């Protein structure tokens, strides 16, 4: 699923599986003149759930976006289908949260500028104060929002207000070391992506590299997942590992892990922005 | 694409891309009562070629295999489509060719017995004579067919006759160190799979590990490909690599490479047997 | 560290780090005429422990094995050094324990016959009865030792006696699905190697693939470790992972995992047999 | 080999192998009071060459750097040894050459600032003019040196003069798309590191991703090597690969390759700066 310059339309669908779903969707699109670029399909054989992602060229398609949505909605209403419609020129708006470590942030910003991830990033939030200059350089507004146990609730309210004000579609926790409250998370279901610096479910919680070092593992990992109310338990979008040995000190693990974290988070954010991710139960389907 | 116990039907398709292909195929199948398990789709954006693989349950499908073939053939005739129909209970017949090194052979036979690859293997051919006992153990007929420059043509004729006699669908060169003649290859287009012990196109031809050792590479690889008349140039089905270092001797490279060769060949054979591979130009589309 | 045909001698050493250790050991060996092939050294900077492995040619070395041991023992006695002496022609004796799944067993036996792992395997033990023929084929004695809650203690006594009787140096649990009692484990400290079918410490205990499937991980792993009294908590020798996706069923995870398990266990056994592994705290140093 | 804050001394050695080399070196260091942190040793068994790298703490060592060099030089003069002495506080000076693509440059600069690579980078040279601002931001001088066929010789002379003027120890070609002349290369033997965007020796020369795309490979790679007069033929320091599929367009290969290139180049530069690399014949020994 490349970053074609041509405008494309995308439908993401899931519903209880039954016969004729592909035919119904494909026929609907064909009759409206769609030239299909990608058609991805999956059925979870245990849960019996149907998933589909179709991407087609806007050019030559005969329905307006609004007509598409109303017509398609009527078509699939009897099927119990959850669906969403997206178009590639629709610029999604990201807010990045970061703490002391800036490697994921700087990596995302390089990819943002290089158009590897296509979005707007109007807002950078940190509980550390030093990110003003980098925010300015990339055209982002910066908010320094320190968190203490006492101020957490009010500061999170401030953050939620900011996210609404900036019309943020996706929150990216780029090594943000504060735990978000359930109240915050519920406002952005499946719209907060975190990077955890271990191969989840190994080493949940704090200091995973220290734990990995002490356990003597031969690989360290990183995991990008949607944030849910259960710490480090949300649906996994992407994971990767790198080999380590007895020669690697704790600092080496952290250094090698940084490269993983950057890539794993970037792949997860890119997949989300390309509408390649569907989540269900506590899992994801990642097409592409 | 698991090895479901339930009977499934499979269509593999490719043709010049145009609007409505997915809709046409899906509608046809729906009207015949198909319950689709897997629908895989790809368009090569440069060559503008459409590829599709659909797998559905035999149970509840209302056309006989013959009716399906004739009706579907009529439907897609105007589209210039190449297609093939398969069913999961159809037992494909393999012949394995092997020379001195038996690691790929023994690995395939273990997977054969464990039903990781579902097929029959009635015939084992080697230019070395020692494979009688293993053939007997696995219920294969064994033919010792030594090759010299003088006898090559006649021996290949003998081999071709055997392959016909045993109704062989797929020839697997499991470290067979003879180069097949163009005449042989033309009889089995896209039906001979080889394992080459390098990351092609690096180290084409003989002694790739020696060449890799002398070049000082930091990874060695293995490549499984369909055999064409150009040595080591056929469409690649699967590749993988493993890390090596200055500590690894030539023997270490060979040993590490064996593990790669076994897995890469097994994955390619499995993908072929599951009808997951479509080839075009000098490439493959490998679904699943 | 290749499987050189020439006889080599090996010293494994560990002690509190201090100045002059390398010099002392190297001088001792030089004065006895050693031609060093491999000298591996490591200092754990947190625990301040020195590790060394030296391998040299037997040819030209001027001390007998017994003289070496007594002289070297005197040399390092004041250093608080733990050390062991090995020679490459010393054939280590393995016992393999297996349950229903035979993939690790058959893989080890192929490597055994191919001399990838150099040892004798005189004894195969299983709580399943079907391994007689394979044992005969590979020249092993087979003992069928079923375990129930009631018989566990007496059956383990029987096993321990067998291991002594066959002068077993290393026990390999090649997917043996019984938990060994602490009493058994204490008889063979750091001499029992297990393969666990997950990336430890994720998915400790039973059914790790089912747990991995339900957690929706994007990689599955395997871990080979020395067995200690804490289940799945012993020092890790080797780990590896393979990528999976939403398309992979539980059966696919198990199938992909089998390839990992085979390789990870074989690498761990080979490293142990080559005297490349030193363990301390709950970790390993794996040279080579 | 971590980036310890403590000053360390390093000896890199190679010579024809013979008995007593480890003992001689270790004794020399011990007598001068060295506390050895890392002792790495390798013998090429085919070429019969000895390699060693020893790193020890400066603290407590009783020879001055100059005395060490003269004394050690006398010791090993009869052995035909090539050796070099380094100390960790010695700041190596890099010049980076870059063309249009800045991903490797920006990655190196992030690591430079984060102290993942410890050096000074006083000079940035490009045949493109847009790098002034980034040079200023990182405190580097920037020289825009366009190259045409006519000006190549004189421009290279200018570059060589600059490299001397800035006392450059290592030239890093961070996706610099000009081929250096033999005259240039001879001035900096084993001191120019390039990143090639393929798994060498596959796809030597220009447009490797296009070639990889057309060959239908299932992995793309990157290779970092010392530059010699034979294009893309120099000793390989580091390589890595990433999996691709039929779904990946040429642009996807390029995007995925960028991540590889960044990491592979950074690892090679880091290994060189830590004095972990010895080269001989057309290979490298990379310790650590």
Put simply, the answer to whether C26 touches D29 (Cβ < 8 Å) is no
Of C2, C26, C37, the CB nearest to D26: C26
- Whether D138 shows a pLDDT value over 80: the answer reads yes
D32 CB within 8 Å of a chain C CB:
no
- Quick one: which of D132, D133, D124 has its CA closest to D104? D124
- Whether A2 shows a pLDDT value over 80: the answer reads no
Q: Are D226 and D193 contacting, i.e. CB atoms less than 8 angstroms apart?
A: yes
> Which of A17, A23, A247 would best serve as a mutation to test chain B binding (most B beta carbons within 10 A)?
A23
Task: Determine how β-strand C120-126 pairs with β-strand C141-144.
Answer: parallel
Task: Tell me the average pLDDT across D165-172.
Answer: 98
Burial class (CB in 10 A: 0-12, 13-18, 19+), A29: buried
**CA-to-CA distance for B207 and B197, rounded, in angstroms?**
9
What residues contact C244, with CB distance under 8 A and at least 6 apart? Answer: C217, C218, C219, C220, C252, C253, C256
C115 CB within 8 Å of a chain D CB:
no
Put simply, the answer to whether B23 touches A29 (Cβ < 8 Å) is yes
D40 CB within 8 Å of a chain A CB:
no
Residues of C in contact with A42 (CB under 8 A): 246-247
Residues C164-212 pLDDT 10s? 999 999 999 999 999 999 999 999 999 999 999 999 999 998 999 999 9
State which residues of chain B have pLDDT below 50: 1-3
Determine the distance in angstroms separating the CA of D87 from the nearest CA of chain B, rounded to an integer. Answer: 25
Q: What is the pLDDT of residue B1?
A: 43
Q: Which fold has domain D8-87?
A: Alpha-Beta Plaits (3.30.70)
Residues C222-231 pLDDT 10s? 999 999 999 8
Put simply, the answer to whether D21 touches C36 (Cβ < 8 Å) is yes
In chain D, whose CA is at the least distance from the CA of C50?
D37
Q: What is the pLDDT of residue D4?
A: 52
% of chain A surpassing 70 pLDDT? 99
> Residue B61 has what DSSP assignment?
-
- Quick one: which of B259, B207, B267 has its CA closest to B232? B207
- Whether D5 shows a pLDDT value over 90: the answer reads no
Is the omega angle on the peptide bond into residue A196 within 30 degrees of 0, that is, cis? no
Q: What is the pLDDT of residue A5?
A: 75
How many Cα atoms occupy the beta-carbon half-sphere of B213 within 13 Å?
Answer: 20
- Phi and psi (nearest 5°) for D31? -65, -25
Q: Are D13 and D83 contacting, i.e. CB atoms less than 8 angstroms apart?
A: yes
Q: What is the pLDDT of residue A1?
A: 43
Q: Kindly report the CA angle at C157 between C151 and C161, in degrees rounded to 5?
A: 145
Q: Are C246 and A42 contacting, i.e. CB atoms less than 8 angstroms apart?
A: yes
Of D3, D251, D259, the CB nearest to A263: D259
Q: What is the pLDDT of residue B5?
A: 75
Task: Tell me the average pLDDT across A3-13.
Answer: 86
- Whether A106 shows a pLDDT value over 70: the answer reads yes
Touching D (3+ Cβ pairs <8 A), the chains are A, B, C
Q: What is the pLDDT of residue D172?
A: 98
Q: Report the Cα C101 to chain-centroid distance in Å.
A: 20
* Catalytic positions of D, written as ranges: 232
Tokens 């995992």 belong to which residue?
A: C257
Put simply, the answer to whether D37 touches C27 (Cβ < 8 Å) is no
Put simply, the answer to whether C218 touches A199 (Cβ < 8 Å) is no
Instruction: Concatenate the DSSP letters of all residues of D153-209 into one string.
Output: HHHHHHHHHHHHHTT-SEEEESS--SPPPHHHHHHSTT-EEEEESSSTTTT-SS-HH
Give SS3 for B210. Answer: helix
**CA-to-CA distance for D100 and D121, rounded, in angstroms?**
19
Determine the distance in angstroms separating the CA of A20 from the nearest CA of chain B, rounded to an integer. Answer: 5
Instruction: Concatenate the DSSP letters of all residues of chain A into one string.
Output: ----SS-EEEEEEEEE--TTHHHHHHHHHHHTT--EEEEEEEEETTTTEEEEEEEEESTT--S-HHHHHHHHHHHHGGGT-EEEEEETTS--EEEEEE-S--HHHHHHHHHHHTTSS-SEEEEEEESSSTTHHHHHHTT-EEEE----TTTHHHHHHHHHHHHHHTT-SEEEESS--SPPPHHHHHHSTT-EEEEESSSTTTT-SS-HHHHHHHHT-SEEEEEEEE--SSTT-SPEEEEEEEE--TT--HHHHHHHHHHHHHHHHHHHHHHHHTT-EEEETTEEEE--
C33 CB within 8 Å of a chain D CB:
yes
What residues contact A133, with CB distance under 8 A and at least 6 apart? Answer: none
Average pLDDT, chain A: 96
For chain C, positions 221-280, list CB contacts with chain B under 8 A. 247, 249, 251-252, 255, 259, 263
Q: Are D99 and D175 contacting, i.e. CB atoms less than 8 angstroms apart?
A: yes
- Whether D219 shows a pLDDT value over 50: the answer reads yes
Average pLDDT, chain D: 96
Burial class (CB in 10 A: 0-12, 13-18, 19+), A115: exposed
> Residue B179 has what DSSP assignment?
P
Put simply, the answer to whether D236 touches B215 (Cβ < 8 Å) is yes
CA dihedral for B154, B158, B164, B165, sign (positive or negative):
positive
Task: Tell me the average pLDDT across C135-154.
Answer: 97
What residues contact A193, with CB distance under 8 A and at least 6 apart? Answer: A170, A171, A172, A173, A224, A225, A226, A227, A237, A265, A268, A269, A272
Q: What is the pLDDT of residue C84?
A: 97
> Which of B42, B195, B198, B219 would best serve as a mutation to test chain D binding (most D beta carbons within 10 A)?
B219
In chain D, whose CA is at the least distance from the CA of C36?
D19
Put simply, the answer to whether C216 touches A199 (Cβ < 8 Å) is no
Instruction: Concatenate the DSSP letters of all residues of B108-145 into one string.
Output: HHHHHHTTSS-SEEEEEEESSSTTHHHHHHTT-EEEE-
Residues C9-55 pLDDT 10s? 999 999 999 999 999 999 999 999 999 999 999 999 999 999 999 99
Residues A52-88 pLDDT 10s? 999 999 999 999 999 999 999 999 999 999 999 999 9
Q: Is the pTM of this model over 0.90?
A: yes
- Whether A192 shows a pLDDT value over 60: the answer reads yes
Any idea where the domains of chain C sit in the sequence? 8-87, 93-286
| ipTM (interface predicted TM) | 0.94
A160 CB within 8 Å of a chain B CB:
no
> Residue B180 has what DSSP assignment?
P
Homologous superfamily in CATH for domain A93-286: Formyl transferase, N-terminal domain (3.40.50.170)
% of chain D surpassing 70 pLDDT? 99
Q: Are C127 and C147 contacting, i.e. CB atoms less than 8 angstroms apart?
A: yes
Q: What is the pLDDT of residue D2?
A: 45
A23 CB within 8 Å of a chain D CB:
no
Determine the distance in angstroms separating the CA of B1 from the nearest CA of chain A, rounded to an integer. Answer: 10
Residues B38-70 pLDDT 10s? 999 999 999 999 999 999 999 999 999 999 999
> Which of A213, A218, A239 would best serve as a mutation to test chain C binding (most C beta carbons within 10 A)?
A218
Task: Determine how β-strand C219-226 pairs with β-strand C192-196.
Answer: antiparallel
- pLDDT category at C5 given cuts 50, 70, 90 is confident
Put simply, the answer to whether C116 touches B252 (Cβ < 8 Å) is no
Task: Tell me the average pLDDT across D42-54.
Answer: 96
């Amino acid at each position: 699923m490349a970053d074609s310059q041509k405008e494309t339309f995308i439908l993401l669908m899931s519903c209880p599986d039954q016969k004729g779903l592909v035919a119904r969707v494909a026929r609907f699109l064909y009759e409206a003149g769609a030239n299909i670029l990608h058609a991805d399909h999956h059925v979870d054989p245990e849960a019996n759930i149907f998933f589909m992602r179709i991407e087609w060229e806007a050019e030559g398609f005969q329905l307006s976006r609004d007509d598409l949505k109303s017509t398609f909605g009527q078509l699939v209403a009897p099927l119990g289908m959850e669906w969403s419609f997206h178009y590639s020129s629709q610029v999604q708006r990201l807010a990045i949260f970061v703490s002391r470590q800036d490697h994921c942030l700087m990596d995302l910003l390089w990819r943002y500028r290089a158009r590897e991830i296509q979005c707007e990033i109007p807002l950078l939030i940190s509980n550390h104060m030093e990110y003003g200059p980098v925010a300015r350089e990339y055209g982002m507004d910066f908010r320094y929002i320190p968190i203490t146990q006492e101020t957490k609730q009010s500061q999170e309210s401030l953050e939620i207000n900011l996210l609404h004000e900036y019309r943020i579609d996706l929150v990216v926790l780029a090594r943000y070391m504060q735990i978000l409250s359930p109240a915050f998370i519920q406002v952005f279901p499946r719209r907060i992506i975190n990077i955890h610096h271990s191969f989840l479910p190994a080493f949940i919680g704090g200091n995973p590299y220290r734990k990995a070092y002490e356990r003597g593992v031969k690989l360290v990992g990183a995991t990008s997942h949607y944030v849910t109310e259960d710490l480090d338990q949300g649906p996994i979008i992407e994971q990767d590992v790198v080999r380590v040995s007895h020669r690697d000190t704790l600092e080496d693990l952290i250094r090698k892990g940084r490269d993983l974290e950057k890539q794993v988070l970037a792949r997860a954010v890119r997949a989300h922005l390309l509408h390649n991710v569907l989540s269900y139960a506590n899992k994801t389907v990642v097409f592409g």
